[in-house]
Amino acid sequence: MAIETLNQMIATHPEVLRNLKRAQITRYAVDQREGLVLPCGALSTWTPPESTGRSPKDTVIVRYPELEEHIDWTSPNNLSIDPETFHRLWIDALTVLWKKPRVYVTDRVIGADPQYAMPVQTVTDFALTSLFTMNMFRPVPSKIDKSLFADKPFTLLVAPYDKIDTSRYEGRLRKREDGTTSDMIIAMDFKNRLGLVYGSAYCGSAKKLMFTAMNYYLPHENILPLHCSANEDHQGNVSLFLGLSGTGKTTLSADKNRSLIGDDEHGWDENGIANFEHGCYAKLIDLEPEKEPEIYKAVFSHREIEENGVIIENCMTYPNGTVDQFDARLTQNSRVSYPLRYLSNVKIKGTGRHPSTIIFLTADANGVLPPISRLNAEQTMLWFLMGYTSKLAGTETGIKEPQTTFSRFFGQPFMANKPSYYANLLGRKMKQHKTRVFLVNTGWSGGPYGTGSRIDITQTRAMLDAAMEGQLDNVSYTENKRFHLSVPDSCPGVNAEILHPENTWSDKNAFEQRAEALAREFSDYFDQAYSNADIDPAVRVQCPGK
C-alpha cells in the first residue's frame, strides 16, 4: 500500500498513541531504548554525533511564488527547496513512520496568548521527541477557538533517527563538502503549514522549526516575535533578554528574585509580551550549582519518574546514574529540557506587560566591549540590525573556535521575512513604550578568548539587577566613541574598574588593535548587509567604525 497523506497514515497505522501522560511516554522511551532513567528521575539520551546541534545548512523553506514578496531570499540563512522535492520527502517520512511499531501524536499550541496561540500537532515514532514536545509546547487553552490561528493548525512530522534515502534525491538535496548528498533535512512549508524534521535527532531542531514558523506568520499580524527570554519583578515590571545562542538568555533569566515568563521565544503585541513555549532548553555544560542554582535544582531535584520527564541530551552519563556536566567529550552543546514549572519562580501563564527594560546580550570573545552600556533609540536599532556576538562551539555543527557573527535581530536564521517587518515593528514599539535598553557583554574581559576570562555570572547578574531596578538611570556615563555606547562609570555591586574594558587588559596596544579590528568588522558588515536598505542616517552613524 502506498501512503499518500498523513490522515491515511494515521488511519491505517497499527498503533497510534495520542497525548499520553508523561509517565507513559517515559516508559515507552525506556522500552524503546531511547534513553535511561537516572536515579533523580531525569531521562538521559544520546543523539548520533552529527545531531548534537542544529544543522543550518540542512534547514530549508519550501519556495512558492506567493512567498516571494515576504521571504528574504538574499539572506544566506534562508535556503530553499522546491515543492516537489518537499512533497516527496514528506511522503517518504510518512511511509517510514507507517512502518514503525507505533507512532506518537501530541496536540499542543505555540503561544501563551490565546489570541494568537497556534495549534501544532506533532507526529513522531520517537517517544522522547513526543515527551520533548510535551515539555516545550503548551497545552491547548480552553479559548483556542478565539485564536486567529484556530482554523490554521500546523503539522510537525519528526523522524529523528531515520536517514533520507539519498539515492532517490540525487541533485535535489544539498551536496556535502565530501560530495555526498546530505541525508537530513529540517524543512518548513509555510503555505501549507507543515514542518518536517527528517534525520536530525537534536531536539532543538524541532523547537527552532516551530519558532521560525511563528516568526514568519506573526509580523503579518502586527505582532513582533523576538528571540529572547523574559521575566518580571514582584511589581510585574518585565525585562526581555535578547541574544544569539550562548549569550545567556536561559541562564540569566532564571533568577529566584524574578518570575520567569519564558527562556527563548516571545511575541510582543498590543497587550504586552507572551511566551511561545512551556519549558526551557538549557545548556548543561559546566553548570555549577553555586552559580546557577535555579537551573541545577530544576534538573537534578529528585522527582518520581511518574511526573519527571526532564530530558538530558548528550551529557556524559555513568553506569551509576550520575552525569558529568563538565565532560565535553560528547559535545559542548549538552542540553536539558524541562517544563517551566520545575523552576522555583515562574509565571506559568506566560504573559506579561510591555517590557520596561530590554537587554541585548552579546558574548564578545574579543574582550573589547564594555560589560554593560546604555543604548539610545538609534543605537538600539543599530544593534538590533547588527545582532553581534561571537558564536561559540556547539550549538551549530562545525563551529570549533569563537567566530564573529552578525545575525540581525539576534536570530537571523529564525527570522525568514524581509528585515523591515521586524525592524519597523520594534521601532514603533520602542517609541510607544519608551523602554530602556542596555547592551550587556557576557563574553570575555581582560583579553580575548584564550587569554582573558569570561565575565563572572555573578558580576553580570549584579549589573543586570542594577539596570532593571533603575539604579543606572541616574549615574554618570562616559561615551565610548569607537563603539558609540554610553558606559556607566559606576554600578552597585560591581568593581568600577571592570566597567571600562581597556582597564582590564595589561597590554593597551593589543586592546586598541583588537577593538579597532572589531569596529572595522562592524562597519564592513553594515555596508555589505545594508547598502541597499533604507536605513535612517541617524541609525547608520551609530555603527561602530563609522
Ligand X SMILES: Nc1ncnc2c1ncn2[C@@H]1O[C@H](COP(=O)(O)OP(=O)(O)O)[C@@H](O)[C@H]1O
Ligand Y SMILES: C=C(OP(=O)(O)O)C(=O)O
Instruction: Confirm or deny that 106 is annotated as ligand binding.
Output: no
Question: What is residue 401's DSSP assignment?
Answer: S
Instruction: Confirm or deny that 243 is annotated as ligand binding.
Output: yes
Among 54, 278, 283, 347, which one carries the catalytic annotation?
Answer: 54
Question: What is residue 371's DSSP assignment?
Answer: S
In whole angstroms, how close is the CB of 313 to ligand X at the nearest point? 13
Which among 291, 210, 300 has a CA at the least distance from the CA of 248?
291
Could you tell me if 295 and 334 are in contact, meaning their C-beta atoms sit under 8 angstroms apart?
no
Which among 45, 77, 89, 61 has a CA at the least distance from the CA of 183?
89
Instruction: Confirm or deny that 359 is annotated as ligand binding.
Output: no
From residue 496, give the alpha-carbon distance in Å to each of 61, 68, 82, 203, 448.
Answer: 48, 51, 56, 41, 20
Residue 54: which of ligand Y, ligand X, Mn ion, none does it interact with, CB under 5 to 8 A by kind? Answer: ligand Y
- Would you call 278 a catalytic residue per the annotation? no
From residue 215, give the alpha-carbon distance in Å to each of 70, 73, 143, 225, 340.
Answer: 12, 15, 22, 6, 22
Q: Which stretch binds ligand X (CB under 6 A): 199-207, 211-219, 239-247, 324-332?
A: 239-247
In whole angstroms, how close is the CB of 328 to Mn ion at the nearest point? 18
Residue number with CB closer to ligand X (62 or 455) = 455
Phi and psi for 513 in degrees, rounded to 5? -60, -45
Residue 282 engages ligand X in binding (rule: CB under 6 A):
yes
- Would you call 227 a catalytic residue per the annotation? yes
d(CA 173, CA 163): 13
Q: Which stretch binds ligand X (CB under 6 A): 132-140, 242-250, 424-432, 497-505?
A: 242-250
Q: Which stretch binds ligand X (CB under 6 A): 191-199, 241-249, 373-381, 531-539?
A: 241-249
Residues lying near Mn ion in the complex (CB under 5 A) are found at 249-250, 264
Residue 52 engages ligand X in binding (rule: CB under 6 A):
no
Selected from 25, 47, 51, 54, the binder of ligand Y by CB under 6 A is 54
| Residue 326 neighbours by CB under 8 Å, 6+ apart | 285, 286
In whole angstroms, how close is the CB of 522 to ligand X at the nearest point? 21
**Residue 41 C-beta-side C-alpha neighbours within 13 Å:** 18
**Residue 444 C-beta-side C-alpha neighbours within 13 Å:** 22
d(CA 482, CA 479): 9
Residue number with CB closer to ligand Y (208 or 258) = 208
Secondary-structure percent of the chain, ordered helix, strand, coil, rounded to 5: 30, 25, 40
Selected from 125, 189, 264, 277, the binder of ligand Y by CB under 6 A is 264
Q: Which stretch binds ligand X (CB under 6 A): 54-62, 195-203, 283-291, 508-516?
A: 283-291
Residue number with CB closer to ligand Y (44 or 395) = 395
Site for ligand X, rule CB under 6 A: 243, 245-252, 282-283, 285-286, 442, 454-455, 457, 460
Instruction: Give the footprint of ligand Y on this chain (CB under 6 A).
Output: 54, 204, 208, 245-246, 249-250, 264, 281, 395
Active-site residue set: 54, 208, 227, 245, 249-250, 264, 335
Q: Annotated binding residues for ATP, as ranges?
A: 208, 227, 243-251, 292, 335, 454-455, 460
